[in-house]
A and B are shown apart, each in its own frame.
Chain A
């Protein structure tokens, strides 16, 4: 009985434990759920949208595909329409032109026809007229001819008479004329001879004059030529002389210049050599100085390291004594602060600043408070104090 009751109680205990484990599991699931919700909430907070008034026309929205297609189709239709109109207009023009040509041709034909008719009529009239004239003329000629025959017969008789008289008079005149001609020919021949003699004399005089002039001119030219040659020779000699002088002077100058250049080069080389030596000496000195500085810096660094190794643990220990752990864990936190000290290790008021935060403001504040409370800090005296006058301090519990 006793055992049974104990066993039953154990069973109840098991139920109770199961209930609590279920509760704890629900808590854990709740934690996960909360974290996710927090993350989502964080995102939501960052997404801030500022609304502002915009003109709806300024909204240069990119056209949707349908709109693009619509537009393209509309453009295509417009183009087709345009093309159709163009074609229609062209056809209309062509037809109008054709019609105009047709009409023009018809008109031309009509005009032609009209002209032809006109001409035909005119020709007919002309023919009529000609025919009438012809007839009239024929009649007139016939009458004329009859009259002419009548007259000719009368004239022949008169002419016969006149011809006889005429012939007699003509023979007399011809004899007279032959005499006059004979005389005129003789006079003309005499005149001709005189004129020929006159001309021959004039020609001889002219030839003489021409020859004299020719000769004079030739002599003048020869004299001129000689003078010109003379002058040319003189000028050539002068030029030759000048050239020779010029050349001599140029050579002298060139020699002078070469000498000057030579000297300048020698001086430049000497200068260069002097400068190089100067620079080498300066570099050597700079090198020497740098080595000395490096040595000094190394010594200084070594001294600082030694001092740090010697005193920083002591400072850390003292600050740790005065440090109060803030609420909430600070297991891996580490803070770097900068601080200033007076000789003797007293912390200068308000000089402690956080350089690298641990990420936990409570921890940073506790470290700063601990440093103020730990004043005066353990520091060396004299010259060794200088590095600690203003230094950075890393604190981690």
Chain B
């Protein structure tokens, strides 16, 4: 027993079974949340780049049907704005082929289809964000539970002693505080990442909606011509 040797690993290995289980869960949560963070960084950067390149192509003044044909060739890779545009333009062409020439009805249909696509895209961007939120908000409580449990046990064992010195109390408390330390280690990156990612997703969502409005305005102008 070397209480003087301060080491997170030693403390974790000497802790009781409940505390050890909590520590294991917290470590897994930390691993998964960091995986989600890396994944989101990649996805959001990809989405931003895709949106910029598509907007550039869209506003360069080319033919819309040509653009549509170009996008249709690699359907799988179209994400973000490109997916919304593809769905909207496909719906527009289909509605135009049917006999009705009611422009307003066509636009409404196109908008509805695009909103579905938008919602799907936003959903794709928001994957794992609730998990990060959960880890960030609950893991401190889980760690606190482990700490309380460990301190309870330490005080229970302390009941055997004739006189309770600081040297007898301190190791038990130190052991149990490891749980809080691990929990904070998992929670802090998760909270920061959640806040940042949700703001980025909101901005992208705004951008998509703007594009949707502008595209439907363009289609309405074409239909009235």
* B-binding residues in A (CB < 8 A): 1, 8-9, 11-13, 15-17, 19-20, 24, 27-28, 30-31, 34-35, 38, 324-330, 360-362, 365-366, 368-370
Contacts and interface: CB of A to CB of B under 8 A. Distances in A.
Given A20-B27, A328-B14, A15 B3 contact: no
B35 A9 contact: yes
B35 A324 contact: no
A327 B157 contact: yes
Contact of B6 (A34, A366, A370): A34
Contact of A329 (B1, B5, B154): B1
A139 B159 CA distance: 168
Contact of A324 (B1, B3, B38, B160): B160
B133 interface: no
A27 B9 CA distance: 8
A337 to B, nearest CB: 14
Contacts of B37: 12, 16
B31 interface: yes
A16 B34 CA distance: 5
B160 A370 contact: yes
Interface of B: 1, 3-10, 14, 27, 30-39, 42-43, 76, 153-154, 156-162, 167-168, 171-172, 175
A327 B76 contact: no
A324 B156 contact: yes
A324 B31 contact: no
Listed residue (B14, B33, B38) with the most chain A CB atoms within 10 angstroms of its CB: B38
B5 A35 contact: yes
A369 B34 contact: no
Contacts, number: 92
By Cβ-Cβ distance, the 9 closest A-B pairs, closest first, are A16-B34, A12-B38, A327-B172, A12-B39, A13-B35, A16-B35, A369-B160, A31-B7, A12-B35
Nearest to A330: B1
A13 B32 contact: yes
Determine chain A's interface SS by DSSP, over half rule: helix
A327 B9 contact: no
Given A9-B39, A328-B171, A360 B5 contact: no
A329 B161 CA distance: 16
B1 A328 contact: yes
Given A12-B39, A30-B7, 4 more contacts: A28-B9, A31-B9, A327-B168, A328-B1
Contact of A20 (B8, B30, B43): B30
A19 B38 CA distance: 11
Contact of A34 (B1, B7, B158): B7
Contacts of B161: 362, 365-366, 369
30 contacts: A8-B42, A11-B38, A12-B35, A12-B36, A15-B34, A16-B34, A16-B38, A19-B34, A20-B30, A24-B9, A27-B7, A30-B7, A31-B5, A34-B5, A34-B6, A34-B7, A35-B5, A38-B4, A324-B160, A325-B157, A326-B157, A326-B168, A327-B157, A327-B172, A362-B168, A365-B160, A365-B162, A365-B168, A366-B157, A368-B162
B153 A327 contact: yes
A330 B4 CA distance: 16
A365 B167 CA distance: 13
Contacts of B3: 328
Contact of A15 (B7, B33, B38, B153): B38
Given A9-B39, A365-B161, A369-B161, A327 B171 contact: yes
Contacts of A13: 31-32, 35
Contacts of A24: 9
Nearest to B170: A327
Contacts of A20: 27, 30-31, 34
Nearest to A13: B35
Contacts of A329: 1, 14
Contacts of A324: 156-157, 159-160
A21 to B, nearest CB: 10
A13 B6 CA distance: 30
Contacts of A12: 35-39, 42
B146 to A, nearest CB: 15
A20 to B, nearest CB: 6
A366 B37 CA distance: 48
Listed residue (A8, A19, A362) with the most chain B CB atoms within 10 angstroms of its CB: A362
A369 B35 CA distance: 50
Nearest to A1: B76
Nearest to B150: A327
Nearest to B27: A20
A373 to B, nearest CB: 9
B8 A360 contact: no
Contacts of A330: 1
A35 B10 CA distance: 13
Contacts of B31: 13, 16-17, 20
B34 A326 contact: no
